[in-house]
Amino acid sequence: MKTFEIIYTLFGGLGLFFFGMKSMSDGLQAIAGDVIKNAINLITRNRFLAVLVGVFVTMLIQSSSVTTVMVVGFVNAGLMSLVQAVGVIFGANIGTTITGWIISIKVGKYGLLLIAIGIFPLLFSKTQKWRQIGRICFSIGLIFAGLETMSGALRPLRGSPEVIEALSYFSGNNHMGYLAAIGMGCIITMIFQSSSAMLGLTIAMATTGIISFPTAVALVFGENIGTTITAQLAAVGGNVNAKRAARAHAIFNVLGVIVIFIILPLYISFVEWIVPGNAELVSANGDRPNIAFHIAMSHSIFNISSTLIFIPFIGPLTRFVTKIVPDSGEKEITHLVVLGNASELLPATAIVQAFEEVKKLKEIILRQYSLTTDYFKSATNDPKMFSGIKKYEAISDNIQKEVTLFVCKLMEKSLTPTQSRQCQALVKLADEFESIADYLERMATYKDRYTEDVPIDGETGAEFFSFVTRVWDYFLLTTSGIDGIQKHNQQYLERKSDEIKLFANSIKDNHLQRIKEKKYNAKTVLAYSDLVVALRKIRSHSVNIAQAAEAFHTN
């Protein structure tokens, strides 16, 4: 093969491998979304359980980078403690080793078969579940086809003097050669931002005989360090705990490699001893049929043993990263959109994260309502109270925008029908909560504008505050089901809503009668009407919240 042909064939195979891994991960996420969400809900301060969740989730989605990015996002949103995050990251390092075993199967042998099996349900199935199963089979076929293509491109290079000379710096069975290979594996993985892709390339080079088994093992260790760059990038712009989780990931992987680097020759001999067959055995066609399994085993033993060794030191590690990434001194507010691109997150976990942000809106509105009620009951227009009400409205507005942008970006991914419905419900919930915050802020503005004309006292004041209480009790009732624990009878909610509307009409009529009796200035009818309308709108948005919450939790 000519040089140009080798280059484009190699990168074409790498492209097939990349696309296959990404598509397989998306398909697995779509099928196992609810399972992943339930697994994450099991996370407690028990470090062993957190590790097991990390293993389980990463095995399902076939990407430790996605898991660590998810963890950084959860820590940043305040949904996971630093200790929990470190435990999940430890588990992710074990879970990612399954990728090596998948691609260590004889490349090319099953690729076209799996593509043929997967393409028909992927294109023609009427059910989402079978389409995703077809997608997974098709994607695994692409992975194998990509590895076979890369191997074919690399075979002519194994006898090239130039290639042999270039690789001599990394092939020496000494610590300098190992160090050079670790560095190269780290750099290339940082560029690809995928340890799975680099692992596939390493296995392809080792299988064709371009690199030796010791060099392949050193490259894999470099990949373990290089993959931490994804979490570091995810933590940029995040809060201090998100940065600490990313640093803990890097420190854990680097320390593990340093420890094994000291005894690397012994480690390589140990792997060769426990895995049947000679790693360097050459077949009739010049390939090495055993080396892929040896590489997968070296990867698994390293990550499992590192995790088992470091589990007792999760506490000291979290304290260490807390010292090297100190607090800024200011109270930090957790944010949602800190990862840049929601399309790169797991849909199931991204939905959980967005839902937690939506629930914050309810807490903000509760505080805004309390302050608004106090503001109306005060004899004067306190500027600090008015400023506080407007501040809460601004916060709710920002969260609503963040949630909407985040979820809309998430909806560009391939989602299950349930996930699509949940995303739509999240957007609606955020919008309805923010609208209520708007009307509370408007009510404060009406009082500030019409203080002289609208004294909220006497019979009108009593009726007005009674109406405020009724509307707010209704808001608390409709939003009590947002967690999905309590289910509402929609007919009962509609009946209560109609009662509130009738009460609103009656107090407006009563106020008009008092104006007729000259108990109030005629100008007050406009201001009083604005206040009643604002409360009726809050009632209307409360109904919508109950409906959206029910849609979110319906399977």
Distance CA 166, CA 158 (A): 12
3-state secondary structure 443-491: HHHHHHHCCCCCCCCHHHHHHHHHHHHHHHHHHHHHHCCCCCCCCCCHH
Q: What would the pLDDT profile of 126-172 be if each residue is shown by its tens digit?
A: 887 788 888 888 888 888 888 778 777 777 766 566 655 665 556 65
CA angle 130, 136, 137 (to 5 degrees): 90
* pLDDT, mean of residues 27-43: 66
CB-based burial label for 332 (10 Å; 0-12, 13-18, 19+): middle
User: Which are the contacts of 547, defined by CB distance < 8 A and separation ≥ 6?
Assistant: 490
The pLDDT value recorded for residue 45 is 58
Cβ(175)–Cβ(262) below 8 Å: no
pLDDT of residue 520: 65
Report pLDDT for 42.
63
Residue 345 has pLDDT above 70, yes or no: no
**Cβ-proximal residues to 79 (8 Å cutoff; 6+ apart), any chain:** 352, 353, 356
Q: What is the mean pLDDT of residues 490-510?
A: 84
Q: Write down the pLDDT at residue 164.
A: 58
Which residue carries 């997608």 as its tokens? 135
pLDDT of 359 above 70: yes
Q: Which tens digit of pLDDT belongs to each residue from 169-220?
A: 566 567 788 888 888 888 888 877 777 778 888 888 888 888 888 888 888 8
Using alpha carbons only, give the angle 244, 250, 254 rounded to the nearest 5 degrees. 145
In 10 A of CB 155, how many CB atoms? Answer: 19
| Percentage, residues of the chain above pLDDT 70 | 82
From 355, 336, 373, select the one nearest 484 (Cα to Cα). Answer: 355
Highest mean pLDDT pick, 51-65, 216-230, 279-293: 216-230
Which two structure tokens, joined as six digits, stand for 61? Answer: 């989605």
Residue 411: what pLDDT?
A: 83
Q: Average model confidence (pLDDT) for the chain?
A: 79
The residue-averaged pLDDT of 62-88 equals 74
CA–CA dist 286, 240 (Å, integer): 52
The answer to whether residue 432 scores a pLDDT higher than 60 is yes
Say what the pLDDT of residue 159 is. Answer: 59
Instruction: Please report which confidence band the pLDDT of residue 338 belongs to, taking 50, 70 and 90 as the band edges.
Output: very low
Q: What domains can be seen in the chain, in order of their start residue?
A: 3-324 (no CATH), 342-553 (1.20.58.220)
107 or 18, which is more confident? 18
Of 113-127, 178-192, 478-492, 501-515, which gets the smallest average pLDDT? 478-492
